[in-house]
Amino acid sequence: DAPGAPAVPVATVPDGGAGALAWASDGSLLVGYGADARVFLGDILRPGAIAKLNTATNVLTPFVSGLSAANGLDVTADGTAYATNDFGTQIGRVFPDGRVEPHWATLPSANGAVLGADDRYLYVSRTFVNPGVSRIPLANPGAPESILDLAGLDNFAAPDGLALDSRGRPVVPANVRGEIWRLDSPGQYCVLASGLPTSSMVVYGQGSGGFSAGRLFRIGFDGAIYEIPGGFDG
């Protein structure tokens, strides 16, 4: 309910491997699942699925299946969802009526998924293969554009689930390096925070209280949520 309050379980996914969350255009919360050991063969087995959570009643209803994974997830203004698999190559597209296009785009190890404010690009991190950050034009998914290519020791930084600030700049957790980066221009990043190993995702708060708008939060495999003051977006 607010920073410092205990977490309250509200639902359990039907098939394990809970993945990403994203708000649907109908106000429900999309919950990705199937992101367990099967994701290593996700492009073949397609175990990824999405359920809808009614946050007023906490009723979880299966929505679609047949995705490589739903490790990263975001939704356009018209209700179209995009889902990634950081252990595969396929990025899936899900239409509001439930139609699934499991191989909408190809990008090895695409991790996280965040759409630009105008829904022109889908931004993803590349975690394990050719590490860095890419953006994929929704109108031309076969032509992804790299905006950060890592080299040297940074090859092992493991960029993970990213966010965009109000200026459209990607904010990326470097999982292994324990740092939070902001891409100020293509190919250039600054370090917003360090000393946070296993950081898996960053997200900006919303609303006027609690996890409020403009405040940047880090989520990690250590189960902790931290605010990143250096990422405040006024």
Determine the pLDDT at residue 87. 95
Indicate the pTM of the whole model.
0.95
> How many beta carbons lie within 10 A of that of residue 147, not counting itself?
18
Give the three-state DSSP class for 146.
strand
Determine the pLDDT at residue 16. 83
Residue 81 in contact with residue 70, Cβ under 8 Å? Answer: no
Determine the pLDDT at residue 207. 85
Q: What percent of the chain has pLDDT over 70?
A: 100
Q: Of the candidates 159, 109, 106, 112, which has an alpha carbon nearest to the alpha carbon of residue 132?
A: 159
Written as one letter, the residue type at 89 is T
The domains located in the chain, with CATH, are 10-149 (2.120.10.30), 153-234 (2.40.10)
pLDDT one-digit tens code per residue, 88-107: 999 999 999 999 999 999 99
Q: Of the candidates 165, 30, 157, which has an alpha carbon nearest to the alpha carbon of residue 148?
A: 157
Determine the pLDDT at residue 17. 87
Give the three-state DSSP class for 160.
coil
Q: Of the candidates 101, 120, 89, 96, which has an alpha carbon nearest to the alpha carbon of residue 27?
A: 96
Determine the pLDDT at residue 35. 83
Determine the pLDDT at residue 18. 87
Determine the pLDDT at residue 217. 97
Give the three-state DSSP class for 189.
strand
Q: Of the candidates 205, 196, 193, which has an alpha carbon nearest to the alpha carbon of residue 224?
A: 196
Spans of the chain below 50 pLDDT: none
Determine the pLDDT at residue 209. 83
